[in-house]
Structure 1
Protein backbone atom coordinates (compact mmCIF):
# COMPACT_ATOMS: atom_id res chain seq x y z
CA UNK A 1 0.00 0.00 0.00
CA UNK A 2 1.21 3.52 -0.82
CA UNK A 3 1.68 5.19 2.57
CA UNK A 4 0.65 8.53 1.07
CA UNK A 5 -2.92 7.22 1.03
CA UNK A 6 -2.85 7.28 4.84
CA UNK A 7 -1.67 10.87 5.17
CA UNK A 8 -3.98 13.84 5.82
CA UNK A 9 -4.80 15.67 2.61
CA UNK A 10 -2.89 18.82 3.60
CA UNK A 11 0.26 16.85 4.38
CA UNK A 12 -0.03 14.79 1.19
CA UNK A 13 -0.55 17.97 -0.85
CA UNK A 14 2.52 19.60 0.72
CA UNK A 15 4.66 16.58 -0.07
CA UNK A 16 3.36 16.56 -3.65
CA UNK A 17 4.34 20.21 -4.07
CA UNK A 18 7.82 19.51 -2.69
CA UNK A 19 8.21 16.55 -5.03
CA UNK A 20 7.19 18.74 -7.98
CA UNK A 21 9.73 21.41 -7.04
CA UNK A 22 12.53 18.85 -6.73
CA UNK A 23 11.53 17.16 -10.00
CA UNK A 24 11.62 20.45 -11.86
CA UNK A 25 15.06 21.31 -10.48
CA UNK A 26 16.47 17.88 -11.36
CA UNK A 27 15.16 17.84 -14.93
CA UNK A 28 16.06 21.49 -15.56
CA UNK A 29 19.66 20.46 -14.89
CA UNK A 30 19.34 17.32 -16.97
CA UNK A 31 18.13 19.08 -20.14
CA UNK A 32 21.36 21.07 -20.46
CA UNK A 33 23.24 17.76 -20.71
CA UNK A 34 21.36 16.88 -23.90
CA UNK A 35 22.67 17.71 -27.34
CA UNK A 36 21.68 20.89 -29.22
CA UNK A 37 19.16 20.45 -32.04
CA UNK A 38 18.88 22.80 -35.04
CA UNK A 39 15.79 25.00 -34.79
CA UNK A 40 15.91 26.96 -38.02
CA UNK A 41 13.80 26.01 -41.03
CA UNK A 42 12.87 27.03 -44.55
CA UNK A 43 10.01 29.33 -43.50
CA UNK A 44 7.17 27.11 -44.72
CA UNK A 45 6.28 26.03 -41.21
CA UNK A 46 7.00 27.31 -37.68
CA UNK A 47 6.74 25.96 -34.14
CA UNK A 48 5.59 28.61 -31.65
CA UNK A 49 5.75 28.44 -27.85
CA UNK A 50 5.06 30.97 -25.10
CA UNK A 51 7.32 30.79 -22.07
CA UNK A 52 8.75 32.57 -19.07
CA UNK A 53 11.93 32.11 -17.08
CA UNK A 54 10.37 29.33 -14.99
CA UNK A 55 9.63 27.26 -18.10
CA UNK A 56 12.96 27.33 -19.97
CA UNK A 57 13.78 23.74 -19.06
CA UNK A 58 10.31 22.45 -19.91
CA UNK A 59 10.36 24.35 -23.20
CA UNK A 60 13.63 22.69 -24.19
CA UNK A 61 12.23 19.25 -23.37
CA UNK A 62 9.08 19.96 -25.39
CA UNK A 63 10.79 21.40 -28.46
CA UNK A 64 13.70 18.94 -28.48
CA UNK A 65 11.36 15.96 -28.18
CA UNK A 66 9.45 17.22 -31.22
CA UNK A 67 12.54 17.93 -33.32
CA UNK A 68 14.15 14.61 -32.39
CA UNK A 69 11.20 12.39 -33.20
CA UNK A 70 10.17 14.39 -36.27
CA UNK A 71 13.73 14.15 -37.59
CA UNK A 72 13.40 17.64 -39.05
CA UNK A 73 14.95 21.07 -38.39
CA UNK A 74 11.80 23.18 -38.20
CA UNK A 75 11.86 26.90 -37.49
CA UNK A 76 11.18 27.43 -33.79
CA UNK A 77 9.82 30.77 -32.55
CA UNK A 78 9.73 31.41 -28.80
CA UNK A 79 7.62 34.19 -27.30
CA UNK A 80 8.87 35.82 -24.09
CA UNK A 81 6.10 36.42 -21.53
CA UNK A 82 8.17 39.30 -20.16
CA UNK A 83 10.29 37.36 -17.65
CA UNK A 84 13.07 35.82 -19.76
CA UNK A 85 16.54 36.89 -18.65
CA UNK A 86 19.65 37.30 -20.77
CA UNK A 87 20.89 34.01 -19.31
CA UNK A 88 17.64 32.26 -20.27
CA UNK A 89 17.97 33.49 -23.85
CA UNK A 90 21.60 32.38 -24.06
CA UNK A 91 20.58 28.90 -22.88
CA UNK A 92 17.76 28.66 -25.42
CA UNK A 93 19.96 29.85 -28.28
CA UNK A 94 22.76 27.45 -27.34
CA UNK A 95 20.45 24.43 -27.29
CA UNK A 96 18.26 25.42 -30.26
CA UNK A 97 20.62 26.92 -32.87
CA UNK A 98 18.62 29.06 -35.27
CA UNK A 99 15.78 29.72 -32.83
CA UNK A 100 13.97 33.04 -33.09
CA UNK A 101 13.10 34.65 -29.73
CA UNK A 102 10.62 37.51 -29.61
CA UNK A 103 10.96 39.69 -26.51
CA UNK A 104 7.76 40.91 -24.92
CA UNK A 105 8.43 44.62 -25.37
CA UNK A 106 9.15 44.18 -29.07
CA UNK A 107 6.02 42.07 -29.48
CA UNK A 108 3.86 44.67 -27.75
CA UNK A 109 5.05 47.35 -30.16
CA UNK A 110 4.60 45.15 -33.23
CA UNK A 111 1.12 43.90 -32.31
CA UNK A 112 -0.48 47.18 -31.27
CA UNK A 113 -1.14 48.55 -34.81
CA UNK A 114 -2.44 45.13 -35.90
CA UNK A 115 -5.31 45.38 -33.40
CA UNK A 116 -6.21 49.05 -33.86
CA UNK A 117 -9.65 48.19 -35.27
CA UNK A 118 -10.40 45.47 -32.70
CA UNK A 119 -10.62 47.14 -29.26
CA UNK A 120 -11.82 44.08 -27.31
CA UNK A 121 -9.09 41.88 -28.77
CA UNK A 122 -6.53 44.59 -27.97
CA UNK A 123 -7.87 44.90 -24.42
CA UNK A 124 -7.59 41.14 -23.93
CA UNK A 125 -3.98 41.16 -25.07
CA UNK A 126 -2.86 44.17 -23.01
CA UNK A 127 -4.63 42.96 -19.87
CA UNK A 128 -7.17 45.76 -19.58
CA UNK A 129 -10.13 43.51 -20.41
CA UNK A 130 -9.92 41.88 -16.98
CA UNK A 131 -11.28 43.62 -13.89
CA UNK A 132 -9.33 41.52 -11.38
CA UNK A 133 -5.57 41.04 -10.92
CA UNK A 134 -6.03 37.35 -11.83
CA UNK A 135 -7.95 38.16 -15.01
CA UNK A 136 -5.34 40.69 -16.07
CA UNK A 137 -2.51 38.20 -15.46
CA UNK A 138 -4.27 35.51 -17.45
CA UNK A 139 -4.32 37.79 -20.49
CA UNK A 140 -0.74 36.65 -21.20
CA UNK A 141 -2.23 33.57 -22.87
CA UNK A 142 -3.71 35.81 -25.55
CA UNK A 143 -0.21 35.82 -27.06
CA UNK A 144 -0.77 32.18 -28.06
CA UNK A 145 -3.60 33.21 -30.36
CA UNK A 146 -2.46 36.62 -31.54
CA UNK A 147 1.33 36.77 -31.52
CA UNK A 148 1.79 33.21 -32.77
CA UNK A 149 -0.15 34.14 -35.89
CA UNK A 150 0.46 37.84 -36.41
CA UNK A 151 4.22 37.59 -35.83
CA UNK A 152 4.73 34.43 -37.85
CA UNK A 153 6.63 34.43 -41.13
CA UNK A 154 5.00 31.14 -42.12
CA UNK A 155 1.45 30.29 -43.06
CA UNK A 156 1.31 27.09 -41.02
CA UNK A 157 2.15 27.05 -37.34
CA UNK A 158 2.27 24.51 -34.56
CA UNK A 159 1.14 26.11 -31.30
CA UNK A 160 3.02 24.09 -28.71
CA UNK A 161 2.72 24.49 -24.94
CA UNK A 162 5.88 23.98 -22.93
CA UNK A 163 4.27 21.08 -21.04
CA UNK A 164 3.93 18.88 -24.14
CA UNK A 165 6.21 15.91 -24.79
CA UNK A 166 6.66 13.76 -27.91
CA UNK A 167 7.43 10.06 -27.54
CA UNK A 168 7.51 8.91 -31.16
CA UNK A 169 7.34 10.25 -34.73
CA UNK A 170 4.25 12.48 -35.11
CA UNK A 171 3.27 11.34 -38.60
CA UNK A 172 -0.05 13.17 -38.63
CA UNK A 173 1.60 16.49 -37.79
CA UNK A 174 4.46 16.00 -40.25
CA UNK A 175 2.00 15.20 -43.04
CA UNK A 176 0.02 18.33 -42.17
CA UNK A 177 3.18 20.47 -42.12
CA UNK A 178 4.39 19.35 -45.50
CA UNK A 179 1.23 19.58 -47.56
CA UNK A 180 1.20 22.27 -50.21
CA UNK A 181 -2.54 22.82 -50.24
CA UNK A 182 -4.62 24.53 -47.54
CA UNK A 183 -4.83 21.90 -44.81
CA UNK A 184 -7.12 23.43 -42.21
CA UNK A 185 -6.36 22.80 -38.53
CA UNK A 186 -5.63 19.86 -36.25
CA UNK A 187 -5.83 19.76 -32.46
CA UNK A 188 -5.78 17.33 -29.57
CA UNK A 189 -8.78 16.24 -27.54
CA UNK A 190 -9.12 15.11 -23.95
CA UNK A 191 -10.08 11.52 -24.71
CA UNK A 192 -8.93 9.98 -21.44
CA UNK A 193 -9.89 10.75 -17.87
CA UNK A 194 -7.18 10.32 -15.20
CA UNK A 195 -8.21 8.13 -12.28
CA UNK A 196 -7.07 9.01 -8.78
CA UNK A 197 -6.87 7.27 -5.42
CA UNK A 198 -7.48 9.42 -2.34
CA UNK A 199 -7.97 12.44 -4.64
CA UNK A 200 -4.24 12.93 -5.33
CA UNK A 201 -2.61 9.64 -6.37
CA UNK A 202 -2.79 8.82 -10.07
CA UNK A 203 -3.99 5.23 -10.50
CA UNK A 204 -4.53 5.04 -14.28
CA UNK A 205 -6.71 6.29 -17.12
CA UNK A 206 -10.23 5.69 -18.31
CA UNK A 207 -11.49 6.25 -21.85
CA UNK A 208 -14.24 8.85 -21.89
CA UNK A 209 -17.61 7.53 -23.03
CA UNK A 210 -19.05 10.94 -23.82
CA UNK A 211 -18.79 12.51 -27.32
CA UNK A 212 -15.31 13.75 -28.16
CA UNK A 213 -15.81 17.46 -27.53
CA UNK A 214 -12.95 18.24 -25.20
CA UNK A 215 -10.85 20.57 -27.34
CA UNK A 216 -7.41 21.30 -25.87
CA UNK A 217 -5.19 24.21 -26.91
CA UNK A 218 -1.86 22.78 -25.78
CA UNK A 219 -1.07 21.42 -29.24
CA UNK A 220 -2.66 22.98 -32.33
CA UNK A 221 -1.74 22.80 -36.01
CA UNK A 222 -3.16 26.05 -37.38
CA UNK A 223 -3.23 27.76 -40.77
CA UNK A 224 -2.98 31.42 -39.83
CA UNK A 225 -5.36 32.33 -42.63
CA UNK A 226 -7.97 31.10 -40.16
CA UNK A 227 -7.27 33.98 -37.76
CA UNK A 228 -10.46 36.01 -38.18
CA UNK A 229 -10.00 39.07 -35.98
CA UNK A 230 -13.53 40.31 -36.65
CA UNK A 231 -14.93 36.99 -35.43
CA UNK A 232 -12.62 37.01 -32.40
CA UNK A 233 -13.61 40.61 -31.60
CA UNK A 234 -17.31 39.68 -31.47
CA UNK A 235 -16.65 36.58 -29.36
CA UNK A 236 -14.52 38.43 -26.80
CA UNK A 237 -17.06 41.24 -26.59
CA UNK A 238 -19.81 38.71 -25.87
CA UNK A 239 -17.72 36.80 -23.29
CA UNK A 240 -15.70 39.62 -21.72
CA UNK A 241 -16.98 38.90 -18.21
CA UNK A 242 -15.57 35.36 -18.36
CA UNK A 243 -11.96 36.54 -18.55
CA UNK A 244 -11.95 37.03 -14.76
CA UNK A 245 -13.35 33.60 -13.92
CA UNK A 246 -12.54 31.09 -16.69
CA UNK A 247 -9.06 29.56 -16.63
CA UNK A 248 -9.83 28.18 -20.10
CA UNK A 249 -10.77 31.55 -21.66
CA UNK A 250 -7.91 31.38 -24.18
CA UNK A 251 -8.73 27.76 -25.00
CA UNK A 252 -12.38 28.65 -25.61
CA UNK A 253 -11.35 31.51 -27.88
CA UNK A 254 -9.13 29.14 -29.90
CA UNK A 255 -11.97 26.64 -30.06
CA UNK A 256 -14.37 29.26 -31.43
CA UNK A 257 -11.91 30.41 -34.08
CA UNK A 258 -10.98 26.95 -35.28
CA UNK A 259 -14.51 25.59 -35.42
CA UNK A 260 -15.50 28.53 -37.61
CA UNK A 261 -12.92 27.58 -40.26
CA UNK A 262 -13.81 25.52 -43.31
CA UNK A 263 -11.60 22.58 -42.43
CA UNK A 264 -10.57 21.25 -39.03
CA UNK A 265 -10.22 17.85 -37.36
CA UNK A 266 -8.99 16.24 -34.13
CA UNK A 267 -5.71 14.40 -33.90
CA UNK A 268 -5.90 10.68 -33.01
CA UNK A 269 -6.40 9.49 -29.44
CA UNK A 270 -2.64 8.90 -29.22
CA UNK A 271 -2.30 12.68 -28.72
CA UNK A 272 -4.81 12.86 -25.88
CA UNK A 273 -4.41 15.35 -23.02
CA UNK A 274 -2.64 13.91 -19.94
CA UNK A 275 -2.54 10.41 -21.46
CA UNK A 276 0.66 8.43 -20.85
CA UNK A 277 -0.11 5.05 -22.40
CA UNK A 278 2.75 3.23 -24.11
CA UNK A 279 1.27 3.97 -27.56
CA UNK A 280 0.94 7.75 -27.10
CA UNK A 281 2.66 9.94 -29.69
CA UNK A 282 2.51 13.25 -27.83
CA UNK A 283 0.87 14.37 -24.62
CA UNK A 284 -0.07 17.75 -23.18
CA UNK A 285 0.47 17.40 -19.45
CA UNK A 286 -2.00 19.48 -17.48
CA UNK A 287 -0.64 17.61 -14.44
CA UNK A 288 2.94 18.87 -14.29
CA UNK A 289 4.27 16.00 -12.15
CA UNK A 290 3.30 13.65 -14.97
CA UNK A 291 5.44 15.72 -17.34
CA UNK A 292 8.54 15.18 -15.20
CA UNK A 293 7.69 11.56 -14.41
CA UNK A 294 7.67 10.77 -18.15
CA UNK A 295 10.98 12.42 -19.04
CA UNK A 296 13.00 9.22 -18.50
CA UNK A 297 11.15 7.84 -21.53
CA UNK A 298 12.98 10.32 -23.81
CA UNK A 299 16.11 11.28 -21.89
CA UNK A 300 18.37 8.65 -23.41
CA UNK A 301 17.27 9.50 -26.94
CA UNK A 302 18.04 13.19 -26.49
CA UNK A 303 21.44 12.63 -24.87
CA UNK A 304 22.97 10.80 -27.85
Structure 2
Protein backbone atom coordinates (compact mmCIF):
# COMPACT_ATOMS: atom_id res chain seq x y z
CA UNK A 1 0.00 0.00 0.00
CA UNK A 2 2.83 2.42 0.87
CA UNK A 3 4.53 1.67 -2.45
CA UNK A 4 1.26 2.35 -4.33
CA UNK A 5 0.81 5.71 -2.54
CA UNK A 6 4.42 6.62 -3.35
CA UNK A 7 3.79 5.96 -7.05
CA UNK A 8 0.42 7.75 -7.11
CA UNK A 9 1.89 10.89 -5.49
CA UNK A 10 3.89 11.42 -8.67
CA UNK A 11 0.64 12.13 -10.55
CA UNK A 12 -0.84 15.63 -10.26
CA UNK A 13 -4.45 14.43 -10.65
CA UNK A 14 -4.06 12.07 -7.67
CA UNK A 15 -2.78 14.93 -5.50
CA UNK A 16 -5.69 17.17 -6.56
CA UNK A 17 -8.23 14.43 -5.77
CA UNK A 18 -6.67 13.79 -2.35
CA UNK A 19 -6.81 17.51 -1.54
CA UNK A 20 -10.45 17.68 -2.65
CA UNK A 21 -11.31 14.75 -0.37
CA UNK A 22 -9.58 16.45 2.57
CA UNK A 23 -11.45 19.67 1.87
CA UNK A 24 -14.74 17.86 1.32
CA UNK A 25 -16.05 17.23 -2.20
CA UNK A 26 -19.03 19.59 -1.83
CA UNK A 27 -16.83 22.37 -0.43
CA UNK A 28 -14.32 21.79 -3.20
CA UNK A 29 -17.02 22.02 -5.89
CA UNK A 30 -18.43 25.25 -4.39
CA UNK A 31 -14.94 26.72 -4.19
CA UNK A 32 -14.09 25.91 -7.79
CA UNK A 33 -17.42 27.30 -8.97
CA UNK A 34 -16.78 30.80 -7.60
CA UNK A 35 -12.99 30.71 -7.77
CA UNK A 36 -12.92 30.38 -11.56
CA UNK A 37 -15.10 33.44 -12.20
CA UNK A 38 -11.98 35.61 -12.09
CA UNK A 39 -10.64 33.81 -15.16
CA UNK A 40 -13.29 35.53 -17.33
CA UNK A 41 -12.17 39.06 -16.39
CA UNK A 42 -10.09 41.53 -18.38
CA UNK A 43 -6.28 41.59 -18.25
CA UNK A 44 -4.67 44.23 -16.03
CA UNK A 45 -2.00 46.52 -17.48
CA UNK A 46 0.98 47.16 -15.21
CA UNK A 47 4.15 49.21 -15.61
CA UNK A 48 7.36 47.43 -16.60
CA UNK A 49 9.43 49.02 -13.82
CA UNK A 50 9.27 51.75 -11.20
CA UNK A 51 10.33 52.98 -7.77
CA UNK A 52 7.62 50.89 -6.08
CA UNK A 53 7.17 47.21 -6.97
CA UNK A 54 4.54 44.58 -6.22
CA UNK A 55 6.15 41.22 -5.45
CA UNK A 56 4.22 38.01 -4.86
CA UNK A 57 5.04 34.36 -4.25
CA UNK A 58 2.64 31.66 -5.39
CA UNK A 59 2.32 28.01 -6.41
CA UNK A 60 -0.05 25.67 -8.24
CA UNK A 61 -2.69 25.55 -5.49
CA UNK A 62 -2.91 29.33 -5.06
CA UNK A 63 -2.33 30.86 -8.48
CA UNK A 64 -6.06 31.50 -9.18
CA UNK A 65 -6.46 32.95 -5.68
CA UNK A 66 -3.52 35.21 -6.53
CA UNK A 67 -5.41 36.56 -9.53
CA UNK A 68 -8.27 37.50 -7.19
CA UNK A 69 -5.82 39.12 -4.76
CA UNK A 70 -4.04 41.12 -7.45
CA UNK A 71 -7.12 42.17 -9.41
CA UNK A 72 -8.84 43.30 -6.22
CA UNK A 73 -5.68 45.25 -5.36
CA UNK A 74 -5.14 46.91 -8.74
CA UNK A 75 -8.84 47.71 -9.28
CA UNK A 76 -9.29 49.31 -5.85
CA UNK A 77 -5.93 51.09 -5.72
CA UNK A 78 -5.88 52.39 -9.31
CA UNK A 79 -2.08 52.13 -9.51
CA UNK A 80 -0.05 50.35 -12.17
CA UNK A 81 2.98 49.41 -10.08
CA UNK A 82 5.19 46.78 -11.78
CA UNK A 83 4.39 43.19 -10.86
CA UNK A 84 6.92 40.45 -10.11
CA UNK A 85 5.57 36.93 -9.62
CA UNK A 86 7.98 34.53 -7.89
CA UNK A 87 7.47 30.88 -8.83
CA UNK A 88 6.95 28.79 -5.70
CA UNK A 89 5.86 25.69 -7.63
CA UNK A 90 3.98 26.53 -10.83
CA UNK A 91 3.36 24.53 -14.00
CA UNK A 92 3.77 26.13 -17.44
CA UNK A 93 -0.02 26.17 -17.83
CA UNK A 94 -0.33 28.24 -14.64
CA UNK A 95 2.26 30.73 -15.89
CA UNK A 96 0.37 31.13 -19.18
CA UNK A 97 -2.82 31.96 -17.26
CA UNK A 98 -1.02 34.48 -15.05
CA UNK A 99 0.56 36.19 -18.06
CA UNK A 100 -2.79 36.39 -19.82
CA UNK A 101 -4.25 38.31 -16.87
CA UNK A 102 -1.08 40.36 -16.23
CA UNK A 103 0.69 40.60 -19.61
CA UNK A 104 3.46 42.92 -18.39
CA UNK A 105 4.24 40.88 -15.26
CA UNK A 106 7.75 39.56 -14.67
CA UNK A 107 7.76 35.83 -13.88
CA UNK A 108 10.72 34.95 -11.64
CA UNK A 109 11.70 31.40 -12.54
CA UNK A 110 12.55 29.30 -9.47
CA UNK A 111 15.72 27.76 -10.91
CA UNK A 112 16.98 31.13 -12.11
CA UNK A 113 16.24 32.70 -8.71
CA UNK A 114 18.03 29.86 -6.90
CA UNK A 115 21.09 30.39 -9.06
CA UNK A 116 21.21 34.17 -8.56
CA UNK A 117 20.50 34.14 -4.84
CA UNK A 118 22.91 31.29 -4.09
CA UNK A 119 25.61 33.13 -6.03
CA UNK A 120 24.90 36.20 -3.87
CA UNK A 121 25.27 34.06 -0.74
CA UNK A 122 28.56 32.58 -1.94
CA UNK A 123 30.04 35.91 -3.02
CA UNK A 124 29.17 37.47 0.34
CA UNK A 125 30.08 34.45 2.50
CA UNK A 126 26.59 33.85 3.91
CA UNK A 127 26.40 30.07 4.58
CA UNK A 128 23.73 30.27 7.31
CA UNK A 129 21.45 32.33 5.08
CA UNK A 130 21.92 29.86 2.22
CA UNK A 131 21.09 26.90 4.46
CA UNK A 132 17.98 28.49 5.95
CA UNK A 133 16.64 29.61 2.57
CA UNK A 134 16.70 25.97 1.44
CA UNK A 135 14.50 24.93 4.38
CA UNK A 136 11.52 27.25 3.90
CA UNK A 137 9.96 28.53 0.65
CA UNK A 138 8.61 31.63 2.45
CA UNK A 139 12.19 32.91 2.74
CA UNK A 140 11.85 34.02 -0.89
CA UNK A 141 10.09 37.03 0.67
CA UNK A 142 13.13 37.68 2.85
CA UNK A 143 15.99 37.30 0.37
CA UNK A 144 14.83 36.99 -3.25
CA UNK A 145 12.46 39.97 -3.15
CA UNK A 146 15.30 42.28 -2.11
CA UNK A 147 18.30 40.75 -3.88
CA UNK A 148 16.45 40.75 -7.21
CA UNK A 149 14.91 44.22 -6.86
CA UNK A 150 16.21 47.70 -7.70
CA UNK A 151 13.08 49.53 -6.51
CA UNK A 152 13.03 51.92 -3.57
CA UNK A 153 10.04 50.21 -1.94
CA UNK A 154 8.53 46.74 -2.10
CA UNK A 155 4.88 45.83 -1.57
CA UNK A 156 4.24 42.15 -0.86
CA UNK A 157 0.77 40.64 -1.26
CA UNK A 158 -0.04 37.02 -0.33
CA UNK A 159 -2.38 35.00 -2.54
CA UNK A 160 -5.10 34.79 0.13
CA UNK A 161 -5.85 38.53 0.52
CA UNK A 162 -8.87 40.36 -0.91
CA UNK A 163 -9.03 44.17 -1.16
CA UNK A 164 -12.36 45.98 -0.83
CA UNK A 165 -11.26 49.63 -0.68
CA UNK A 166 -8.33 51.74 -1.80
CA UNK A 167 -5.36 50.76 0.43
CA UNK A 168 -3.93 54.26 0.81
CA UNK A 169 -1.42 53.33 3.50
CA UNK A 170 0.42 50.87 1.28
CA UNK A 171 0.22 52.58 -2.11
CA UNK A 172 1.16 56.18 -1.36
CA UNK A 173 4.48 57.30 -2.83
CA UNK A 174 4.99 59.48 0.26
CA UNK A 175 5.18 56.55 2.70
CA UNK A 176 8.33 56.45 4.81
CA UNK A 177 7.37 53.89 7.46
CA UNK A 178 7.74 50.11 7.11
CA UNK A 179 4.19 48.73 7.34
CA UNK A 180 3.05 45.15 8.04
CA UNK A 181 -0.30 43.56 8.78
CA UNK A 182 -0.95 42.72 12.41
CA UNK A 183 -1.15 38.94 12.78
CA UNK A 184 -4.08 37.20 14.47
CA UNK A 185 -1.72 35.39 16.86
CA UNK A 186 1.89 35.31 18.01
CA UNK A 187 4.02 33.75 15.25
CA UNK A 188 7.72 34.34 15.88
CA UNK A 189 10.50 31.84 16.51
CA UNK A 190 11.55 33.73 19.67
CA UNK A 191 9.63 35.74 22.25
CA UNK A 192 9.76 39.52 21.88
CA UNK A 193 11.51 39.62 25.26
CA UNK A 194 14.24 37.25 24.06
CA UNK A 195 14.63 39.24 20.85
CA UNK A 196 15.13 42.43 22.85
CA UNK A 197 17.54 40.67 25.22
CA UNK A 198 19.62 39.01 22.49
CA UNK A 199 19.53 41.63 19.73
CA UNK A 200 18.56 44.90 21.47
CA UNK A 201 15.53 45.26 19.19
CA UNK A 202 11.96 46.14 20.13
CA UNK A 203 9.42 44.61 17.77
CA UNK A 204 5.60 44.46 17.79
CA UNK A 205 4.20 41.24 19.26
CA UNK A 206 2.39 40.19 16.08
CA UNK A 207 3.45 41.15 12.57
CA UNK A 208 2.29 39.18 9.55
CA UNK A 209 4.51 39.27 6.47
CA UNK A 210 1.62 38.41 4.13
CA UNK A 211 1.04 42.10 3.40
CA UNK A 212 3.74 44.70 3.73
CA UNK A 213 5.15 47.89 2.24
CA UNK A 214 8.78 48.41 3.23
CA UNK A 215 11.84 50.35 2.14
CA UNK A 216 14.23 48.29 0.02
CA UNK A 217 17.10 49.30 2.26
CA UNK A 218 15.70 47.50 5.31
CA UNK A 219 17.50 44.53 3.75
CA UNK A 220 20.85 43.89 5.41
CA UNK A 221 22.26 40.52 4.38
CA UNK A 222 25.28 40.66 6.69
CA UNK A 223 23.07 41.51 9.67
CA UNK A 224 20.74 38.58 8.93
CA UNK A 225 23.75 36.25 8.79
CA UNK A 226 24.90 37.47 12.21
CA UNK A 227 21.43 37.00 13.69
CA UNK A 228 21.18 33.46 12.32
CA UNK A 229 24.11 32.45 14.50
CA UNK A 230 21.64 32.46 17.41
CA UNK A 231 20.11 28.97 17.49
CA UNK A 232 16.96 30.23 19.20
CA UNK A 233 15.85 31.67 15.85
CA UNK A 234 15.39 28.10 14.56
CA UNK A 235 13.01 26.97 17.32
CA UNK A 236 10.19 27.26 14.78
CA UNK A 237 11.81 27.49 11.35
CA UNK A 238 8.45 28.11 9.65
CA UNK A 239 8.19 31.58 11.19
CA UNK A 240 11.89 32.49 11.32
CA UNK A 241 11.35 34.43 8.06
CA UNK A 242 8.57 36.49 9.63
CA UNK A 243 10.65 37.05 12.76
CA UNK A 244 13.58 38.30 10.69
CA UNK A 245 11.29 40.66 8.77
CA UNK A 246 10.21 42.26 12.04
CA UNK A 247 13.82 42.49 13.17
CA UNK A 248 15.04 44.04 9.91
CA UNK A 249 12.39 46.75 10.01
CA UNK A 250 13.00 47.42 13.70
CA UNK A 251 16.71 47.76 12.90
CA UNK A 252 15.93 50.25 10.09
CA UNK A 253 15.89 54.03 10.64
CA UNK A 254 12.12 54.23 9.93
CA UNK A 255 11.20 51.37 12.27
CA UNK A 256 8.50 48.69 12.06
CA UNK A 257 4.82 49.71 12.13
CA UNK A 258 1.49 47.88 12.06
CA UNK A 259 -1.24 48.63 9.58
CA UNK A 260 -4.50 49.76 11.25
CA UNK A 261 -7.25 47.37 12.34
CA UNK A 262 -9.20 47.72 9.07
CA UNK A 263 -6.38 45.80 7.34
CA UNK A 264 -7.50 42.45 8.75
CA UNK A 265 -5.88 39.04 9.25
CA UNK A 266 -8.46 36.47 10.38
CA UNK A 267 -9.69 32.90 9.99
CA UNK A 268 -13.22 33.80 11.10
CA UNK A 269 -15.99 35.64 9.19
CA UNK A 270 -16.66 39.33 9.63
CA UNK A 271 -16.36 42.46 7.48
CA UNK A 272 -17.37 46.06 8.09
CA UNK A 273 -17.84 49.09 5.85
CA UNK A 274 -14.37 50.24 6.98
CA UNK A 275 -12.55 47.03 6.01
CA UNK A 276 -9.83 47.85 3.48
CA UNK A 277 -8.65 44.28 2.95
CA UNK A 278 -8.73 40.90 4.63
CA UNK A 279 -6.09 38.18 4.74
CA UNK A 280 -7.56 34.67 5.09
CA UNK A 281 -4.64 32.44 6.21
CA UNK A 282 -4.80 28.65 6.33
CA UNK A 283 -4.60 25.69 3.97
CA UNK A 284 -8.25 25.61 2.86
CA UNK A 285 -9.26 29.17 3.98
CA UNK A 286 -13.04 28.65 3.43
CA UNK A 287 -14.01 32.27 4.18
CA UNK A 288 -11.79 33.52 1.37
CA UNK A 289 -14.35 31.85 -0.94
CA UNK A 290 -17.49 32.22 1.19
CA UNK A 291 -16.99 35.85 2.25
CA UNK A 292 -14.07 37.65 0.57
CA UNK A 293 -14.61 36.71 -3.06
CA UNK A 294 -18.44 37.16 -2.96
CA UNK A 295 -18.09 40.66 -1.50
CA UNK A 296 -15.55 41.76 -4.10
CA UNK A 297 -17.55 40.01 -6.86
CA UNK A 298 -20.53 42.30 -6.12
CA UNK A 299 -18.42 45.48 -6.10
CA UNK A 300 -18.13 48.22 -8.76
CA UNK A 301 -14.41 47.41 -8.93
CA UNK A 302 -15.17 43.86 -10.08
CA UNK A 303 -17.67 45.20 -12.62
CA UNK A 304 -14.92 47.42 -14.02
CA UNK A 305 -12.78 44.40 -14.92
CA UNK A 306 -15.62 42.14 -16.11
CA UNK A 307 -15.77 41.25 -19.78
**Does the TM-score normalized on the shorter chain lie above 0.5?**
yes
2:17 paired residue number: none
CA shift in 2, pair 1:192/1:84, >3 Å: closer
SS of residue in 2 equivalent to 1:286? coil
Check conservation: 1:276, 1:283, Cα contact below 8 A. Answer: no
Distance 2:22 2:90 in 1: 29
Check conservation: 2:233, 2:240, Cα contact below 8 A. Answer: no
2:167 paired residue number: 170
Check conservation: 2:165, 2:276, Cα contact below 8 A. Answer: yes
SS of residue in 2 equivalent to 1:53? coil
1:184 equivalent in alignment to 2:177: yes
- Following superposition, the deviation at residue 109 of structure 1 comes to 1.0
CA shift in 2, pair 1:18/1:238, >3 Å: farther
CA shift in 2, pair 1:118/1:17, >3 Å: farther
Where do 4+ consecutive residues of structure 1 move more than 6 Å? none
1:98 equivalent in alignment to 2:98: no
CA shift in 2, pair 1:163/1:20, >3 Å: farther
Check conservation: 1:80, 1:102, Cα contact below 8 A. Answer: yes
SS of residue in 1 equivalent to 2:143? helix
Match of 2:57 among 50, 61, 73: 50
Match of 1:277 among 266, 271, 280: 271
- Following superposition, the deviation at residue 102 of structure 1 comes to 0.5
- Following superposition, the deviation at residue 40 of structure 1 comes to 2.5
1:120 equivalent in alignment to 2:128: yes
- Following superposition, the deviation at residue 47 of structure 1 comes to 0.6
Q: Describe the superposition over 1:10-50 as per-residue Cα deviations: whole angstroms up to 9, x where unpaired.
A: xxxx8864455334422342110122111325411111111
Check conservation: 1:158, 1:221, Cα contact below 8 A. Answer: yes
Check conservation: 2:55, 2:145, Cα contact below 8 A. Answer: yes
2:228 paired residue number: 236
What are the equivalent positions in structure 2 for 1:205-216 lying under 5 Å apart? 213-216=205-208
1:202 paired residue number: none
Q: Describe the superposition over 1:34-93 as per-residue Cα deviations: whole angstroms up to 9, x where unpaired.
A: 221113254111111111111110110111111000011111100001x21111111001
Distance 2:43 2:258 in 1: 31
Distance 1:149 1:23 in 2: 38
1:262 paired residue number: 253
Q: Describe the superposition over 1:165-206 as per-residue Cα deviations: whole angstroms up to 9, x where unpaired.
A: 11100111122xx12xx813111113699xxxxxxxxxxxxx
Distance 1:257 1:23 in 2: 41
Distance 2:23 2:60 in 1: 22
Match of 1:161 among 155, 158, 171: 158
Distance 1:97 1:79 in 2: 15
Distance 1:24 1:140 in 2: 25
Structure 1 runs not aligned, ≥5 long: 1-13, 128-138, 194-210
Check conservation: 1:70, 1:169, Cα contact below 8 A. Answer: yes
- Following superposition, the deviation at residue 258 of structure 1 comes to 1.4
Please, what TM-score do these two structures have when normalized by structure 1? 0.77
**Paired residue total:** 257
Match of 2:34 among 8, 14, 27: 27
Structure 2 runs not aligned, ≥5 long: 1-20, 187-202
1:77 equivalent in alignment to 2:84: yes
- Following superposition, the deviation at residue 236 of structure 1 comes to 2.1
Please, what TM-score do these two structures have when normalized by structure 2? 0.77
Distance 2:171 2:225 in 1: 32
Distance 2:53 2:184 in 1: 27
